[in-house]
Amino acid sequence: MNASTRVVTAAEMRSRAALIAGVLRQCQIPIRSILDAGCGMGLMRKPFEELLPRARYEGLEASQYLCGRFGWVQGSLTDFAPRKPFDLVVCYDVLQYLSDLEAARAIVNLGKLSRAALYVSALTTEDWRENCDRSRTDGAVHLRSGAWYRRRLNKSFRYVGFGIWVRKNVTAILWEMERPLREEAPRDCPVSTPREPRARVPPPRSRHERD
């Protein structure tokens, strides 16, 4: 791998693994099994082994070469069906390489693969426009809005933050100020409500009209 063109470094993936492990630990969600979907070279394997030593790590990869070299399971995120779901599924920069139909199927399958938590990162139209370095980012992808992904993920998961989602049937212990921003009015501010529309009353008739 050419270091001059490499976008993701081992240090960055270590930091990402630490973030995921830290948030789930704070939410009091135990992790005993991890599926790294589209794991590539498996840069998060060692960090997870150090941060979550009791968790079993498994890599899922479409590349036959990488599976042979690193011992990953070869398969597709759209239809991978293990015997048991995993406590944590990591899906880092995979979904943008799938068509709309394939990505939608993959997100449905993520709901089956994850027993408790999910980490998702995908290049969106907003990222392409505002965040990424286009000279070093693969543009041969299917760009979709963040809202497109969130609508589908919300069917099985609820968002915790920093790309981390928790299944709706799993209790995540979060204090109020740790929760993601919700669309609601501040409790200490008055909420204005529209007044009832007034009936239109005709103006009083003139004396000549009354006569």
**Structure confidence by residue, pLDDT tens digits, 165-190:** 999 999 888 888 888 876 554 444 34
| DSSP-derived secondary structure letter, 91 | E
Mean pLDDT of the chain, nearest integer: 86
Of the candidates 96, 102, 99, 44, the residue with the CA atom closest to the CA atom of residue 77:
102
What's the token pair of residue 64?
Answer: 């036959």
Q: Are strands 157-161 and 33-37 parallel, antiparallel or unpaired?
A: unpaired
Residue 26 belongs to what H/E stretch?
Answer: helix 10-26
Copy the structure tokens of residue 77: 């995120």
At residue 199 the predicted structure's pLDDT band, cuts being 50, 70 and 90, is very low
- Cα separation of 85 and 12, whole Å? 27
| 116-132 pLDDT tens trace | 999 999 999 999 999 88
Residue 83 has pLDDT above 80, yes or no: yes
CA distance 37 to 39: 5
**Is-contact 162 18, C-beta < 8 A?**
no
Looking at the chain, the whole-number percentage of residues with pLDDT higher than 90 is 72
The conformation of residue 58, written as its DSSP 8-state character, comes to E
Write down the pLDDT at residue 177: 86
**Residue 208's pLDDT band (cuts 50, 70, 90):** very low
Q: Which two tokens stand for residue 174?
A: 């979060």
Mean per-residue pLDDT for 147-153?
97
